[in-house]
Every structure is written in C-alpha cells, then in structure tokens.
Amino acid sequence: MFRPLALLRPALSLLLAAIFSLPAQAAAPDWCAQIGKRLGSVPTEQCRKLGLEAAPEKTRNGHALMRRDYPAAAQKIAALGKGERAPRILIIGGIHGDELAAASLVFRWMRWIDEGDARQYHWRVIPVANPDGLLATPPQRTNANGVDLNRNFPTPDWSEDAHAYWQSKTRKDPRRFPGKQANSEIETRWLNAQIEDFKPDVIVATHAPYGLLDYDGPARQPRRFGHLNLNRLGVYPGSLGNYGGVHKKLPVITIELPNANSLPPLKEQREIWDDMQTWLRRNIGPRQVS
Ligand SMILES: [Zn+2]
C-alpha cells in the first residue's frame, strides 16, 4: 500500500527539529559577536579563539558570565619543590560596564599569557564581570538591576555602612547604588563563588578612568605598573578591595586606566603587564599545598 506519510516522516521530523532548535539558538546570543561590536580592540573571531567558558548562570539580561582557566605550564609545575603548588591569580575585568578599556585590557592580557614566564602561575581570567552593563546601550556602570557590583560584595561593614555611605557620601548617586542587600546580585555571587572555589593568592581587577594603581592586602604594595603610580584610594563598603584585601586578607591589585573608552598606547599596556609580572615574581612565590 502506498503510504505518502511514511515517506514524508523523515523529512517532517527534520523540519520539526529545525523549528524547535530555533528558539534555543535565539535564547543564547553570540557573546563574542556582541563583545566584538562593543569593544573595538576585540574582534569577534579573536574573542572566539580565546576559549572562554560560560557559567551555567545567566545575568538578568540573559548574558553569559564567561571565564577561562590557564593552569600553570607542566614544566613550571615540575620545577616546584615538594609539597608546593603554583600560585593562583584571579583577574576580573569590566565589573563596571562603562569602563570599556578595563575589559579590553584583560582581553589583551589573554593574548599575552602564554609569553615569557607568566604560565608559572595558574590564572583564572574573567574579562567581563558585568556583561549587562558593558552590552547596554549606552554602556552603564551598574548591572541590569542598577547595582554597582563593586559596592555589593558582602564585607562585614556592609549592613551598617553601605547605605549610609551611599546616602551621605554619594548623595544617592544611582551609579553607586550598593544594592538592597550585600551579595544580592547574580554577578557578585558568581564572582564570590570564583573566589571560594579557585582560592586565588592574588586578585587583579581592572577599572578606569583614574589613571592609577591601588592596592589592598597583606603583601608588599607595588609602587607603579607602567605609567600608573600607586595612589591608595581607601576602601568602600562592599568593594572588592575591601572584601578581598581587608576581609579575606588577599592581595588585591586595582588597575585604573586613564581613559574608560580607549586603551593606552600598546607600549604602555606592555609596561603595565611587564611590571605586574615582576611584582608577582618578587612577591608571590610557590605556595604550600594545604
Ligand atoms: Zn570602575
């Protein structure tokens, strides 16, 4: 018996599969294509080659939280003493979404990380900690909930001081709103989970546009990286420097580029990177396995 439906069934199932796969694709916007459009120095194809991995969590606007791990090189691990491990360095860029150069710089570092001795460390790199802010039109400092993520970390002084500081010192500047509660934001919780899980020995965060180097924590403070001189700004309730440097007793280096919208000349980018490597080499040696 002739059964046209039986012949059609494979084609029909292919068609249905194609239709049902569409919403899934639409729900996962191409992160690197969006970054490539936003950051002039990060072409989409170059971003794709960096091998960033998406966390299971998504931001409020549906963007991925991306990271990449670079374990220490095998020959560096082989050269470690007994019971030692490579130091771990966590890099966090773009926590303020309108500081485009701060994110661009971290993408640049990802291209340099295999050079020289940098792979004596285990790096975890988060180039864009606030994708909703960076990819907003126009880009904005806060996340999609209007929270300044760098005031949302759960520092011990948060409950008492974060809102008081916001009201009296910033006059309720909406760009500096610390959130309704400490750690209320998915991005802050995710960053916190990276700190808990990766257990970094150093955190490096990039910002703009103050053109300086800031430092919190127990190691010897750096004097300058490239043209950026140390100028300690002090800590704020809920800031990463306060949380990591004061509360968790980790060295937290804050790099403030001089311009939020464009990177410094390549030579200066290189000097910042090289001076950071020198500081790490002198101050952050191999750790005992605990
Ligand atoms: Zn900033």
Domains of the chain (ranges plus CATH)? 29-288 (3.40.630.10)
Asked if 156 contacts 183 with a C-beta cutoff of 8 angstroms, the reply is: no
CA of 57 to the centre of ligand 1 (A): 23
Burial class (CB in 10 A: 0-12, 13-18, 19+), 81: exposed
Asked if 109 contacts 91 with a C-beta cutoff of 8 angstroms, the reply is: yes
pLDDT over 90 percentage in the chain: 88
Note the pLDDT of residue 28.
46
Asked if 206 contacts 255 with a C-beta cutoff of 8 angstroms, the reply is: yes
Residue 189 has pLDDT above 90, yes or no: yes
Asked if 195 contacts 91 with a C-beta cutoff of 8 angstroms, the reply is: no
Asked if 183 contacts 153 with a C-beta cutoff of 8 angstroms, the reply is: yes
Confidence band of 24 (pLDDT split at 50, 70, 90): very low
CA of 250 to the centre of ligand 1 (A): 19
166 contacts: CB under 8 Å, gap ≥ 6: 151, 172, 173, 176, 177, 178
CA of 188 to the centre of ligand 1 (A): 14
Average pLDDT, the chain: 92
Rounded Cα gap, residues 106 and 53, in angstroms: 15
223 contacts: CB under 8 Å, gap ≥ 6: 229, 230
Residue 11 has pLDDT above 60, yes or no: no
> What is the distance between the terminal CA atoms of the chain, rounded to a whole angstrom?
74
Residue 27 has pLDDT above 70, yes or no: no
- Residues 166-177 have pLDDT tens digits of 999 999 999 999
Residue 212 has pLDDT above 90, yes or no: yes
- Residues 233-264 have pLDDT tens digits of 888 999 999 999 999 999 999 999 999 999 99
pLDDT over 70 percentage in the chain: 90
Work out the average pLDDT over 181-197: 98
Ion ligand 1 — residues with CB < 5 Å: 96, 99, 207
Note the pLDDT of residue 13.
55
Rounded Cα gap, residues 185 and 65, in angstroms: 13
For residue 189, give both structure tokens. Answer: 């919780």
CA of 254 to the centre of ligand 1 (A): 9
Q: Which ranges constitute the DSSP H helices of the chain?
A: 4-27, 31-38, 44-49, 74-78, 100-112, 131-134, 163-168, 186-198, 240, 266-283
Confidence band of 150 (pLDDT split at 50, 70, 90): very high
Work out the average pLDDT over 9-17: 53
- For residue 74, the SS3 value is helix
Rounded Cα gap, residues 59 and 64, in angstroms: 7
Note the pLDDT of residue 14.
52
Work out the average pLDDT over 46-67: 96
CA of 85 to the centre of ligand 1 (A): 32
Query: E strands within 71-189?
Result: 84-85, 88-92, 122-126
Note the pLDDT of residue 234.
84
CA of 207 to the centre of ligand 1 (A): 4
Q: Please indicate, yes or no, whether the overall pTM of this predicted structure exceeds 0.85.
A: yes
Note the pLDDT of residue 219.
86
CA of 96 to the centre of ligand 1 (A): 5
CA of 31 to the centre of ligand 1 (A): 22
